[in-house]
Amino acid sequence: MAAELPDDPTPRQVDAWIERADRVEDDGFRAQVRRIYFQLLAIANGYEPSPGAAAAFRWLAAALRAHVGG
């Protein structure tokens, strides 16, 4: 069921729809949604989901801290 803005929306509802429209146009948000979609397809088809980038970024941050002595 598609969401619809009421005929007489509250200011809060209007703000939420504006935020939603901004997100839909954001390339980073759309890329994240695609990644989630592909992860779900992998799981639904019995494949292991690909690891996220968070672990790689944690490793990189630790390596940089060790390199600079922080």
In the structure encoding, which two tokens stand for residue 34, read together? 């695609």
Q: Which tens digits make up the pLDDT trace of 28-54?
A: 999 989 888 888 888 899 988 777 777
- Residue 50, Cα to own-chain centre: how many angstroms? 15
Would you place residue 61 in the very low, low, confident or very high pLDDT band (cuts 50, 70, 90)? confident
The residues spanned by each domain of the chain are 27-68
Q: Which tens digits make up the pLDDT trace of 5-30?
A: 889 999 999 999 899 889 889 999 99
The C-alpha angle 44, 50, 53, rounded to 5 degrees, equals: 140
